[in-house]
Chain A
Amino acid sequence: MAKRIEEVRHLGEKKRPVEKEQAVYDRDYSRYAFSYPTDKYKYVLKPGLSREVIEEISAIKGEPTWMRAFRLQAYEIFLKKPMPTWGGDLSAINFDTITYYATPTDKSARSWDDVPEEVKKTFDRLGIPEAERKFLAGVGAQYDSEVLYHSIREDLKKKGVIFLSMDEGLKEYPELVKEYLGTVIPPTDNKFAALNSAVWSGGSFIYVPPGVQVEIPLQAYFRINAPQMGQFERTLIIADEGSRVHYIEGCTAPIYSKESLHAAVVELIAKRGAHLRYTTLQNWSNDVYNLVTKRAVAYEDATVEWVDANIGSRLTMKYPSVYMLGKGARADILSVAFAGRGQHQDTGGKAIHAAPYTTSTIVSKSVSKDGGRATYRGHLVVAKGAHHAKSNVRCDALLLDEYSRSDTYPYIEIDEDQVTIGHEATVGKVGDDQIFYLMSRGLSESEALSMIVLGFMEPFTKTLPMEYAIEFNRLIQLEMEGSVG
């Protein structure tokens, strides 16, 4: 028996009265919006994409031949694949005006002192060195195309934990990279995965040996500095049997009012009994197209958790996936999105049950405001033979005004009888009475609204280390300021 459920809902499509187009870039992000000139960069490739550009990137990196071949083959695939039209509006992306590789230096430092001054200033302003000292087990910091700083705590290094940039990973552990890269997400997967495979640069390479527990998070920080930049980091995390690791990534960029492109590929492999959590706090400026493919495979009794928050970008299309390939594997996907003026957050999750006794939960929470659009796109598959699979999908949308929009596309395919599936969706509006109640206690209208939105996001916030929770709350408050009255 095959069951297929497609339920599509659209809410809040009322047209907004005439508004200023400029407002798309209105967010005040003085904390993030600064930038530095690129005239001292060691490399800035001319905009546009060709075989030559790809060969040049590969040559700058001094890569093995097989990687060069991998890139060129991916480029052919990229050329053949049409632009996807099923999701957000990609028509403004012009592949000829994007810079595919730029970096101030080709050296990756192990100490902040060795990082170029302006790069260091950037990461100082973003609080990265401080965070590293206080509560991180390791840090990687990518600036445009290259990871310019990374470190890992000595004790973890001694236990065999590898945390390198992907480029260094390729240099130091070519066999491991060759064995796994592109196995979870092949270049043929989609146009932007092909593009990433062709021009990738930076990203993290992590390997956690069997049984090793990395109790505090590893973090990577991604910064776009140059205008009309394309950032194409490639991340591969292998959690070996019985290991545990939590990886957090954050992303910011200054505002140029010209399209930038971020097309990352993230592949996770959780072996038997491993526990892998991947947290993203995406806060790109509102001129970034964020088109990311994230997928994990989970073997027997392994758990993969995607915790994915999207606040920034003009358009995000991202659906973290877990393929549960081993008996008893588990997937937890928590996706939260905030769509403000001029933004479209097209996010969700995919859970593929390909083995018995597998469990998945997908929770999506979105907030739309000032004409923003939040789309939930989910895909739940229970394959034949994945008996006793359990899945629970829940999406909650909060609309803050009548001009904003929420869409839900939950696709469910079930080819097995002995399964337990739950699916629930709610759309809510903030009530005047709730606002009045909070205001009667002394909060301003925007504080009251912030508080309700933060409360709505609480299931996400509580998964974060405290420092990140505070940062996240601050970002949401920034979004909410001036939103009323």
Chain B
Amino acid sequence: MASVLEIKDLHVSVEGKEILKGVTLNVKTGEIHSIMGPNGSGKSTLALALMGHPKYEVTQGEILFKGQNIVELEPNERARLGLFLAFQYPLEIQGVPLGRFLWAAKKALMGQSQADGQPDKKADAKALSEFRKQLQEKMKLLKMDESFAQRYLNVGFSGGEKKRAEIVQMHILKPEIAILDETDSGLDIDSVKIVAEAVNQLRGPDFGALVITHYQRILNFLKPDYVHVMIDGRIVRSGDESLVHELEAKGYDWLIHETKAKAVR
């Protein structure tokens, strides 16, 4: 049975200001959804609220994942349910090598708490060596040098390297539903292709994604099943891939006018 992320009439405020004004959307495993929209329309707010950033306050509506309301859950509890967010601006963590971090995260997701990621049990040794191999493969897939596993998490990574590292993390942690927040921004065309191919590789009955983007180019590779347009904190139009081309041809203005017209009425 497919897992479903159900967003129902979601209102979200940041520091008292309402950004999302009633978003309703269902994302199932096996589906790729895309959300497009102009700057400031609330796309990233949606991504961060879904993952549970403490600054983003849900004031109305609910988020159900696998039938459970997750609004009150901590981000790590959401992650353990199978949710993942590829950050628009991945954070830098000094002194924590990417590989060690991912091993700790993987173990945390498997229910073993050990934040330093140091192997200290023999039972770990086998799992660890498998993990290392897997990490190497995934880095190859994203065309990242192996040495990145030893480098501190995102520290000194270029913009594009950070984004690709997010997708490596996604591959290792294997979420059921992934939210990609402008993963394609700041990537050159080759990198966009690499990232899109890596996402496509996960595509299947056990994986769904919500891809937030400004641009159609990543969607040309991803071919989303559903496309939504968000304007001023609401989804104003949903359709299939053809909507991408319509937006490409016409821009957002016509939708903005339409939205305003509706609001006046």
Contact = CB atoms under 8 A, between A and B. Distances in A.
B236 interface: no
Given A437-B91, A470-B118, A473-B116, A451 B76 contact: no
Interface in B46-98: 51-55, 74-76, 78-80, 84-85, 87, 90-91, 93-96
Nearest to A450: B115
Given A432-B55, A437-B90, A442 B173 contact: yes
B94 A458 contact: yes
B105 interface: yes
B108 A436 contact: no
Nearest to A469: B118
- Classify chain B's interface size: 35 or more
B101 interface: yes
A454 B106 CA distance: 18
A451 B101 contact: yes
Contact of B115 (A432, A433, A448): A448
B91 A455 contact: no
B253 interface: no
A418 interface: no
A450 B54 contact: no
A35 interface: no
B113 A447 contact: yes
A432 B79 contact: no
Nearest to B94: A455
B74 A451 contact: no
B115 A455 contact: no
A436 B53 contact: yes
A441 interface: yes
Contacts of B80: 442
Nearest to B84: A440
Interface in A200-230: none
A459 B173 CA distance: 28
Contacts of A437: 87, 90-91, 93
A238 B84 CA distance: 57
A304 B74 CA distance: 47
A447 B54 contact: no
Interface string B118-154: 1010000000000000000000000000000000110
Contacts of B85: 440
A455 B154 CA distance: 13
B76 A477 contact: no
Interface string A179-212: 0000000000000000000000000000000000
B113 A451 contact: no
A436 B54 contact: yes
10 contacts: A439-B74, A440-B87, A442-B76, A442-B108, A444-B108, A446-B115, A447-B108, A450-B116, A451-B116, A452-B96
Interface of B: 51-55, 74-76, 78-80, 84-85, 87, 90-91, 93-96, 101-102, 104-106, 108-109, 113, 115-116, 118, 120, 152-153, 169, 173
